[in-house]
Chains A and B, each alone.
Chain A
């Protein structure tokens, strides 16, 4: 009898063992690929940080490892923060971004609510059309937009950017918000209608609070696009007083073929700080917003 039971037991152990082994393999592979991608992603910012802590002399010195800072200094940062021009770049970026985010959110929340919820003739086609405009790259759009912005007399004016960036942000944010609104059951609007709400009250008192994660995700997107925009300001802004951070740092800290590497890196890091801070605080909302509909059915 024992001869018949032993092979069965071995069979069970073998099976459990193979499952555990498969899981271990999966974990190892997952960790390994995560570590590799983390290194690839983090290497540039770390290199930037290290370079920003070096003096110009040390940057130019080819003898040691570039990954080592022998005498760390904050002089690049102080130089930038003491430079009125750099502060203006920062303020220009902030001004444009805040205006763009506000404009984008007002337009896309209203548009998404109308397109996603108010079901009128052609709303489906319009919604698809809005998304299609997002697929047109800014490198293609800036030429005709130059004509338009020029015609409005807003060339070389930071407010011109406020007019132009929404062509990138509004379609995508509207699309996110349509998806998010679609995940809200229709009985909720019907209950609100019966409770006595009109469309604006329904949007303001029900949809915006319920869709807050989606709205935050869209806000972060609009913020990132606007803060990091490069093509449009390069094309439309020429005088340093109107420049945002992205082009200001590059155009003012590169003189001909002289690169102020330390200050460039310090400037880029300082410019990256606001998005990093915002992502860190709102990450959970961002993920919840982007994955809405995937889990809510």
Chain B
């Protein structure tokens, strides 16, 4: 087990395209870190560079304090789980799991002990004699994890391991992966494009975009205190609303004024923070769950506004209402008992404690 350090790591391809543009990241021992971002953001490339499957073009990668830039994958003491499982089709489940240990010349008894222990943890003991083609997707993914566990490596690397599974199995395997990590506690780096997977699994989430790290932090921190517009929009579902507005000062207090004149009072504890931006055009960011009907328990810093729904989506435990306001799509989360109708103005409450103000020139959250 070990910590992993990335220092100014760059991946450049022929023709000068940079997939990863000098990222820094420190991953602690036992930590579960998820790299998340849209496709092409460089997260898989970063993982493959840690694995040694891609050469790095600049910077250093260290595993357990040793710089591994020029060390081949087999000597990095890592194990990797692939999206398409990559099981050896001609070997039984047992042999698949034992392969890495056999190559490393472990004694037979030790291999047997480790394979059986991993099979027990993953609940695949009855499948040990089967070939991969006789297994379901979920079972194959378990075997792929088993192959990683038996090696007892310093680091586990997961490359979108659940993307090939159906929705129900994905949720189940997600829990499974979390359980395994709680049992074996190996440092884990996990790549996904699914922000729900990132939020549920990670000790810390690394949000990447265009080859750079936008923000690193525990899931709750990213949710409540996004650093950039990209993180604010990427984390959370449905995505945060971004409404063009201005900050205006009126007799010592600050207001967020939307383009149609709707005025929302800024909470007192944020006045000092936003005052330098008074009079400027900003983006008013608010999550659908913080733009809601007036049935909330928390009554502090609520700002009323009225919008006319274009689409209503009853989800059962909640209702989503979609609005169009001066060319911007806005979503609100309503109590399912609220009588919302398309085309009929709806009284809403913005939880101003939860709002975010984004500087449109830098896309940074103020």
A: which residues have CB within 8 A of B? 185, 187-188, 190-198, 201, 205-206, 209-210, 212
Q: How many A-B residue pairs have CB under 8 A?
A: 57
Give which listed residue, A185, A194, A197, A198, contacts B51 with CB less than 8 A.
Answer: A194
Give CA–CA (A197, B80) in the complex, Å. 14
In the complex the two chains form, is A194's CB within 8 Å of B78's CB? yes
In the complex the two chains form, is B86's CB within 8 Å of A187's CB? yes
A191 — which chain B residues lie within 8 A by C-beta? 80, 82, 86-88, 147
Tell whether B109 is near chain A: CB-to-CB under 8 Å.
no
Tell whether B280 is near chain A: CB-to-CB under 8 Å.
no
In the complex the two chains form, is A194's CB within 8 Å of B90's CB? no
Known contacts A190-B53, A194-B79: A185-B86 contact under CB 8 Å: yes
Give CA–CA (A196, B74) in the complex, Å. 4
A209's nearest neighbour on chain B, judged by CB, is B90
A201 — which chain B residues lie within 8 A by C-beta? 103
Tell whether B137 is near chain A: CB-to-CB under 8 Å.
no
Give which listed residue, B83, B90, B103, contacts A196 with CB less than 8 A.
Answer: B103
A212's nearest neighbour on chain B, judged by CB, is B90
Tell whether B217 is near chain A: CB-to-CB under 8 Å.
no
Give CA–CA (A114, B70) in the complex, Å. 22
Main secondary structure of the interface of B (DSSP, over half): loop
A209 — which chain B residues lie within 8 A by C-beta? 90
Tell whether B64 is near chain A: CB-to-CB under 8 Å.
no
Known contacts A190-B53, A210-B89, A210-B90: A196-B100 contact under CB 8 Å: yes
Give which listed residue, A185, A188, A195, A210, contacts B100 with CB less than 8 A.
Answer: A195
Tell whether B299 is near chain A: CB-to-CB under 8 Å.
no
Give CA–CA (A26, B151) in the complex, Å. 58
Give CA–CA (A209, B88) in the complex, Å. 10
Of residues 74 through 104 on chain B, the ones whose CB sits less than 8 Å from some CB of chain A are 74, 78-80, 82-84, 86-90, 99-100, 103-104
Give CA–CA (A205, B90) in the complex, Å. 10
B100 — which chain A residues lie within 8 A by C-beta? 194-196
In the complex the two chains form, is B90's CB within 8 Å of A193's CB? no
Chain A nearest Cβ from B186, distance in angstroms: 14
Mark B36-61 against chain A: 1 for CB-CB distance below 8 A, else 0: 00000000000000011100000000
In the complex the two chains form, is B78's CB within 8 Å of A195's CB? no
Main secondary structure of the interface of A (DSSP, over half): helix
A197's nearest neighbour on chain B, judged by CB, is B103
Interface centre among B52, B80, B87, B147 (most CB of A within 10 A): B80
B: which residues have CB within 8 A of A? 51-53, 72-74, 78-80, 82-84, 86-90, 99-100, 103-104, 147, 151
A188 — which chain B residues lie within 8 A by C-beta? 86, 88
Give CA–CA (A195, B150) in the complex, Å. 11
In the complex the two chains form, is A195's CB within 8 Å of B53's CB? no
Closest 4 CB pairs of A and B: A187-B86, A195-B100, A191-B86, A196-B74
Give CA–CA (A105, B141) in the complex, Å. 35
In the complex the two chains form, is B53's CB within 8 Å of A193's CB? yes
A-B contact sample (17 more), CB < 8 A, given A190-B51, A196-B100: A187-B82, A187-B83, A188-B86, A190-B53, A190-B82, A191-B82, A191-B86, A191-B147, A193-B52, A193-B73, A194-B53, A194-B100, A195-B74, A196-B74, A196-B103, A205-B99, A212-B90
Give which listed residue, A185, A193, A196, A198, contacts B104 with CB less than 8 A.
Answer: A196
Chain B nearest Cβ from A206, distance in angstroms: 6
Give CA–CA (A197, B72) in the complex, Å. 11
Give CA–CA (A198, B82) in the complex, Å. 19
Give CA–CA (A195, B101) in the complex, Å. 8
In the complex the two chains form, is A190's CB within 8 Å of B80's CB? yes
16 contacts between A and B (CB under 8 A): A187-B86, A188-B86, A190-B53, A190-B73, A191-B86, A191-B88, A192-B88, A193-B53, A193-B73, A194-B74, A194-B78, A194-B79, A194-B100, A196-B104, A197-B74, A209-B90
In the complex the two chains form, is B89's CB within 8 Å of A195's CB? no
B78's nearest neighbour on chain A, judged by CB, is A194
Chain A nearest Cβ from B93, distance in angstroms: 14
Give CA–CA (A190, B72) in the complex, Å. 11
Give CA–CA (A187, B48) in the complex, Å. 11
Interface centre among A188, A194, A196 (most CB of B within 10 A): A194
